Chain A
Amino acid sequence: MARHALHRLLLAVPVLFGVLLLGFLLMQVVPTDPATVRAGPTATPEVIAAIRSDLGLDRPLWEQFGRYLWRLGQGDLGVSIINNVAVTQELGATVGPTLELMLASLFWSIPLGILLGTLAAYWRGSIFDRAVMAVAVACATVPVFFLALLLIWFVGFKWQLLPFTGRGGPLWTLDGLKAVALPAIALGGTFIGPVARMTRTAVLDVLGADHVRTARAKGLGERAVVLRHALRNALIPVVTLIGLQIGFLLGGAVVTETVFSWPGVGRLAVGAILSSDFPMAQGTILVLSLGFILVNLSVDMIYAALDPRMRAA
């Protein structure tokens, strides 16, 4: 298992380097000039040139990337060229809220998705099954911003039940819980559909398998058959899907954070890109990519734990 983990970790290194290089080059090919943005619309070319020189943007590309890698090796992601704040400082302040939002979303959507999928499979063809699948399709197709605006309109505005403008505090406080509720529902809502559908399909496959028939023949109760023999085996594709979906969830977090003014990495990334803040944008790309790599690594590990055949692969 440890060897398997090490192997996967080593594979992540070139991926990470590729992300760094791509992130850097993407910022360069965008036809924008941070010095112009920073100087404002009425600045003269002399002022813009001076700011460009101050920011080191007049140096050759390879030199800029080399300096970036060198600093990165020392744990220094640079400073924002817009507000001079250390990138690590801003990331440090925003990673927590994004993790909170992700955890809160997953906390309710994964169990509910698996539960609904399992029940739909168990009562296959029933009205419940059809209703769950209809909801699942709706959840999978409704854009997160639309769901977010609906929640703001009804729950936040019309009924005034929950706040929707920013973070209320740490997740373990009542204010924190109240503030995260709507963004988490919006973000998690898009997650339920795929999880429920995949669970239903996987459970249905397994329920028809020989070992389940054998378990029933041995006289096991339905609960034990479904939970112990069907669901566990059905979880392998579900876990894979969850891993992939978390990546999309990171993308959804960018929108959710903007709509709910949630102070997370996604919103930071949008702000950095819109203001041509290269170091900050590269920092957020790095963090989001790291998150994606870590999630995939975790999925690999869980996969290996669930299916020993994977460890040998």
Chain B
Amino acid sequence: MRRTVNAALLALPALLPPLWGASAQAPGRNTLVVMREIDADNYDPPRSTARGAGEVAYMLSDTLVSLDWDQKTVRPGLAESWTVSEDGKLYTFKLRRGVTFCDGKPFTARDVAYTVTRWADPATRSPVRWRAGPVKEVRAVDDHTVEYELNEPYGELLYQLTLFFGSMVDQATVEKLGQNHGVQGFNGTGPYCWASWTPRQELVMTRHPNYNWGPPIYQNPSPQVERIVWRVVPEANTRLAGLQTGQGDVTQYIPYFALPQLRAVPSVKLSKQENYFWDHFMGFKVDKPVVNDPAVRRAVNLAVNRAAIAQAAFFGAATPADAYLNPNVAGFDPEAAKMVPSFNPDEARKVLDEAGWKPGPDGVRVKDGQRASFVVYAISTQIARVQSEAIQADLRRVGVEMRIQLWDATVAWGKLATQEFDAFFMSYPYISATDAFALYFDSRNRPTPNRMNWVDPETDRLLAEAKTALDPAVRERAIAGAQRRVSEANVWLPLAREQLWVASGPRVEGVRAHGIYGIGLYKGLDIRLTR
């Protein structure tokens, strides 16, 4: 018996050497493995608002115009040039010649007309249909000329057309696949072609052999990598270890706590986008008790230490938000930024005192029998947890009680569409000041995304003017005016501006963080593998 057992014990490790001796699994030569946290719901551009969908859509297809690294300058895309009529209602795009879809079919103006018409069609159920603008008709004048006619001027159109929702689609493929377009296949004009998708696992794309019409912001007009695998690696630690061991090549899904460590790893390169427009804020429902008092909202803005929150919740990898918008975004108004109160707890107490909010027996202020207490809703994330607790402590110090209710992501969006709460935490990407403000502060957008119930005819008028005025200077003045009205009323508590970092492994070169709609790699045309 003892001999048998000994033999078995000896035999066990003997089975293992082939595994021990083998090197870890590595991606194939000229195959780039991009690791990300979650998959998208589908890859049909107008039907998904997921960042994951955009990451892939930008590589599978092209937009009419592209966006420079500064996130302000619109550059040629599939359209080489464009003109705008005097009344601002007709955009005429001249298309590049020699562009083909992945199946070899020539790309023409009819494809643009089909793509935009489908995007704007209510039957498509696009959650971002409004981004296409007030479309009257999009028509092909000839194979290389498109007329994009609007019912009214829309100064944001070019910015909106840089977003992946307007990526070109092939009518025949859409009609063949129906609801499965972007699920079972996709035929685009992008630098890479759809190879396969295993939902929640990986999407594989291969180099588009004819592609040489990349946006001018890249050094290379053609892709440098043969194959890209977008692999879902949900666990943050696994992603980080995978990057350092070469099991994955690139990721933008870096937990904030890991950035200092990654900076110290010589084999990992980090690219940061300074012009990254993804902000965190707390919004107030301005028609609910307590937070309907402008003094309370101002006091909250004064009482919260944003710098400490950026440190605690983002490990210093976020910028404290001292304004509603990033100063680098198109349409940013510095005067409005000055109206956002800076951290000053004493001033917060003074504002509350003057407004009649007197300290109650439990330390929470009271006015006309109403306690200075409100409920905040947020999606349950680590950032929201730390952020809300820090704010709760800051507010308590000035006599305001904030009750926190965090919701699991599965129920949060439904809850955030209700009127049950007084304030909420959220983060969002934007492309211009008008893009951000027209979405969140237009009274017609209640109850979502205008969850603040902000109804101000003057804001509405300014937003309409910012979108429709023909003169860019008038548009700029209008959006500045909207920012001032909202900032003055303290409708939000701006909290932090995210930073975009993209990490790449030792065999990858040419990675540069872009950041459009939160997307790190954009077209990735300069990315190459050294081995």
Contacts and interface: CB of A to CB of B under 8 A. Distances in A.
A164 interface: yes
A153 B240 CA distance: 10
A313 interface: no
A219 interface: no
Nearest to B179: A84
Interface residues of A, number: 66
A163 B24 contact: yes
B370 interface: no
Interface in A224-270: 226-227, 258-261, 263, 267-268
A58 to B, nearest CB: 15
B382 interface: no
Contacts of B5: 115, 119
A190 B231 CA distance: 28
A178 B125 contact: no
Contacts of B122: 50
Interface in A121-171: 122, 149, 152-153, 156-157, 160-166, 168
Given A84-B183, A90-B199, A261-B234, A41 B448 contact: yes
A181 to B, nearest CB: 6
Contacts of B244: 157
A258 B20 CA distance: 24
A163 B201 contact: no
B247 A258 contact: no
A80 interface: yes
A33 B410 CA distance: 8
B232 A42 contact: no
A115 B11 CA distance: 13
Contact of A221 (B1, B38, B445): B1
A43 B231 contact: no
B257 interface: no
A122 B199 contact: no
Contacts of A164: 24, 238, 241-242, 247
Contacts of B41: 38, 82-83, 275
B414 A32 contact: yes
B335 to A, nearest CB: 27
Contacts of B245: 156-157, 160
B128 interface: yes
A112 interface: yes
Given A84-B183, A152-B238, A164-B242, A41 B413 contact: yes
Contacts of A83: 41-42, 183, 199
Contacts of A258: 234-235
Contacts of B126: 47
Given A223-B4, A259-B238, A268-B200, A274 B24 contact: no
Interface string B440-457: 000001011100000000
B8 A179 contact: no
Contacts of B92: none
Contact of B448 (A42, A90, A119): A42
A36 interface: yes
A76 interface: no
A33 B411 CA distance: 7
A44 B235 contact: no
A75 B5 CA distance: 49
Interface string B406-431: 00011101111100000000101000
Nearest to B180: A84
Contact of B127 (A40, A93, A149): A40
A174 B24 CA distance: 11
A166 B125 CA distance: 34
A47 B131 CA distance: 14
Contact of A156 (B234, B241, B417): B241
Given A36-B417, A41-B49, 6 more contacts: A83-B199, A157-B244, A161-B19, A260-B238, A263-B198, A275-B410
**Which 5 pairs across A and B sit closest by C-beta, in order of nearness?**
A163-B25, A40-B49, A223-B1, A43-B127, A157-B241
8 contacts: A39-B127, A40-B127, A42-B448, A43-B49, A80-B199, A82-B42, A84-B183, A90-B199
